[in-house]
Structure 1
Amino acid sequence: MPHGTKVALVVGARGVIGGNLVEHLASLGDWEIVGLSRSGGVDTDRVRHIAVDLLDQADTAAKLAHLAGVTHVFYAAYQDRPSWAELVAPNLTMLVNTITTIESVATNLEHVSLMQGYKVYGAHLGPFRTPAREDDARHMPPEFNVSQQDFLEERQHGKNWTWSAIRPSVVCGFALGNPMNLAVLLATYATISKHLGVPLRFPGKPGAWTSLIEMTDAGLLAEATVWAATTPECANQAFNINNGDLFRWQDMWPVIAENFGLETAAPLPLALVDVMAEKESIWDEIVREHDLEPIPYSQLSSWAFGDFVLGWDYDVIADGSKARRMGFHRHVDTRAMFVEILDGLRQRRIIP
């Protein structure tokens, strides 16, 4: 491997975060990229994909043993479980298996980037201190994001490599096969609403309609992640990364409705996991009528995830000024972000 070559190992390369990170790294031109996921992917001249079960230590060791050239690990893998407590074991195990293996073979390892989120601050539990700051006090465990960071901090002691922890808000971008994607979920919900001839109603909790929230564009997140991983002054620190603006759903909802040519009506709390569960036949009808890509309905949206995000009847915001003070100044207009993603879904024939 030539001196100075940067080799990125993107863990969770098929998700909305990992997929956009792979695209960004490839666009920079000076990275070799290896993507890890459970299903693998199609190799290109810049990206190699490896299918691996990171919960299996033996499979991880066997599949990653040849990756001696890795210089940067970008960890964005995630395993879902029914409860917060159950998330710790699998998600910590995957990180431990990955780092243990890579550290044993990659002698030029420089940095490990850990993707976290506002769960570090207890955003998933209820009202928390806002805007959250990177140095806020921890909350009562269990919390897998915190356990993962503790592992990295302890593992890094006395080592040449450094770490960073990246904390985005709800991440929006284009990705298929990852149903935990709010933009695609809203697009699916709006498309079905239009097909059924009903107005676009906000289905979340009443308090969520007026609470402050923010988003993180997947492209901006990719840029910030690479910036933190390659800026020496950012070593061994955490960073909140968000678009830089705030909104309330009462103001954003009409923007989304207008994009679909829909009228709005008064919010009406609905359990999406129930009311959208039996809409698969309707979606199949929409796909046939508009000659859309035959993406399985189950892969488009996690309605439980939608209920979760649209159920935040309290402010969910964090202070992103630390990254700006240290040199990352990119920002994204969230209204424009939603419109761009929705237009992109149409260009790809995912929605009509």
Structure 2
Amino acid sequence: MPSAIVTGATGILGREIVSELGRSPQQWPTVHALSRSKKDEYPQNVVHNHIDLTSSAKEMAEQLKDVEGEYIFFAAYLAQDGEKEAADVNGAMLKNFLEALKINGADKKIKRVVLTTVTYPNDVIGVAKGNFMNLATSIGLYCAVSKELGNGDLVFPGSETFYTKFDCFTYSRLHASFNTWAALEPKASNQAFNVVNGDVESWQNLFPKLARKFGTKVKADMFASPPDKDAASIVQMAKRPPLADFAAERGLQDNKVLKQSAVEQRIDLIKWSQRDDVKAAWKKLAEREGLEHDAFEKATWGFLGFVLGRNFDLVISMSKARKAGWTGYVDSWDALSECLDELAEEKVLPKFE
């Protein structure tokens, strides 16, 4: 029976991979959950091991002296300001980790390594205890505090253009199931896959559902007036969009679809989160409902602003995975609603009626 090693075991993706493996002790009798700190209670087949993936291979080898597994799920990731920095830092972590296993001789048992940054997720919906860097937490806090402010109906803070365009999401639990499937599926060997829920959504559908869940409704004419220049922001993306590389062969050279994209926030969420009235509303709400006070400051407002502010469609195909035998599917609203309920249980958000 296979054994596993999961790095980044307390992160939004790694936590769910550990949970998925932990639910099947007969199939996965030993699971090593690796992280800097232990934030979860684990089932009996899961062993927590402390590791600092930013240390040297020699130092990691010492930390991993009692750790071995046939299947490695590398879910650790350290965000950086730039792509090159991210590649350098995360590439070094992976390289040193694998070298550490080699130093200990544990590499001889490895049958497959699954990289969560090759299993391509998009706009991840999930919950990790003590980790507020996720879409569900940030948008839930925005809705809760907006209601607390009492300034009227809920207003979409992102791009007016994107509000009626399409998006695809990845539920962290579906992603975990995909990873365990990919680890054992022969057709998945040495391949990269998109991993999204399988539906295509739009915020014009999701946002009213969010409003109703929080006991309010969407403002009927929220795009009627131009955005407040002091509250809004526009950030241009790459001057040369990725489609430009294929424009000629697709008959789109010099076409208007090749225009530069942007992140357009009618309400810049970083600015919004720093307003005195917003902070006061959160403090009042958190004290009244007994919520975790750190959640608001640690929420990733910049990430949420990016997700809601893009002014282009994101339609992502699961055809490659389907052809390889993957059948998983999750309704994106169901996933988001479940995560919001879990956040309420964790005292990050107020209880829903």
Structure 2 distance, partners of 1:249, 1:348, is 26
TM superposition shift of 1:78: 1.1
* 1:281 Cα deviation from its structure 2 partner: 4.4
Query: TM-score normalized by structure 2?
Result: 0.79
Cα displacement (A) at 1:217: 0.8
Match for residue 161 of structure 2 among 183, 186, 207: 207
Partner of 2:73: 74
Q: Note the C-alpha offset of 1:70.
A: 1.1
1:111 aligned partner: 112
State the alpha-carbon separation in 2 of the partners of residues 203 and 52 from structure 1: 39
1:162-241 counterparts in 2 under 5 A? 165-198=118-151, 199-241=153-195
Q: Give a deviation string over 1:209-262, Cα, whole Å, max 9, x none.
A: 122111011111110110001112211111111111111112211011111111
Q: Show the 5 A alignment for 1:255-270.
A: 255-265=209-219, 266-267=222-223, 269-270=266-267
Q: Percent of aligned pairs with the same residue?
A: 32
In structure 1, the residue matched to 2:288 is 289
Residue 340 of structure 2 aligns to a residue whose secondary structure is helix
Indicate yes or no: 2:200 matched with 1:252.
no
How far does the alpha carbon of each residue in 1:74-107 deviate from its partner, in whole angstroms, 9 at most, with x for none?
Answer: 0111111222222121111111111121244222
SS in 2 for 1:175: coil
Q: CA deviation at 1:41?
A: 4.1
| Secondary structure of the corresponding residue to residue 309 of structure 2 | coil
Task: Mark the runs of 5 or more structure 1 residues left unpaired by the alignment.
Answer: 117-164
Secondary structure, aligned partner of 1:50: strand
Pairs within 5 Å for 1:99-138: 99-104=98-103, 105-106=105-106, 107-116=108-117
The equivalent position to 2:197 in structure 1, one of 235, 243, 259, is 243
Distance 1:43 1:334, change over 3 A: closer
> Whole-Å Cα distance in 1 between the matches of residues 128 and 199 of structure 2?
23
What corresponds to 2:94 in structure 1?
A: 95
Task: Report the TM-score, using the length of structure 1 for normalisation.
Answer: 0.80
- 1:334 and 1:41 map into 2 onto residues whose CA distance is 26
User: Partners in 1 of 2:286 and 2:45 — Cα distance?
Assistant: 33
Q: Which moved more, 1:187-196 or 1:45-54?
A: 45-54
For 2:273 and 2:294, the matched residues in 1 are separated by 16
Alignment partner of 2:53: what SS? coil
Which structure has the larger Rg over C-alpha atoms?
2
CA distance in 2, matches of 1:273, 1:249: 20
1:48 counterpart SS class: strand
Distance 2:98 2:218 in 1: 49
Determine the C-alpha separation between the residues in 2 that align with 1:235 and 1:56. 29
The answer on whether the counterparts of 2:295 and 2:348 sit within 8 Å (CA) in structure 1 is no
Q: Which amino acid letter does the alignment assign opposite residue 113 of structure 1?
A: V
Inter-partner Cα distance in structure 2 for 1:109 and 1:171: 28
Q: Secondary structure at the match of 1:186?
A: helix
Counterpart for residue 324 of structure 1? 322
Give the Cα–Cα distance (whole angstroms) in 1 for the partners of residues 92 and 160 of structure 2: 38
Higher mean C-alpha displacement, 29-38 vs 280-289 = 280-289
- What 5-or-longer segments of structure 2 have no aligned partner? 228-265
8 Å contact 2:197–2:329 — kept in the other structure?
yes
State the Cα deviation string for residues 298-342 of structure 1 (Å, max 9, x = none): 33x110111111122111222101111221111011122222222
Q: Which residue of 2 aligns with 1:155?
A: none
| Whole-Å separation in 1 of the counterparts to 2:206 and 2:155 | 12
Number of residue pairs the alignment of both structures matches: 298
The CA deviation at 1:66 is 2.5
Measure how far apart 1:52 and its partner are: 2.1
Contact 1:41/1:49 (8 A) holds in 2: no
C-alpha contact 1:15 1:178 (8 A) present in aligned 2: yes
- The corresponding residue for 1:131 is none
Deviations for 1:20-41, whole angstroms, at most 9, x for unmatched residues?
1111110012321112223344
Q: Give the secondary-structure state (helix, strand or coil) at the position aligned to 1:8.
A: strand
RMSD value, Cα = 1.8
Deviation at 1:42, TM superposition (A): 5.3
2: CA distance, partners of 1:311 / 1:91: 27
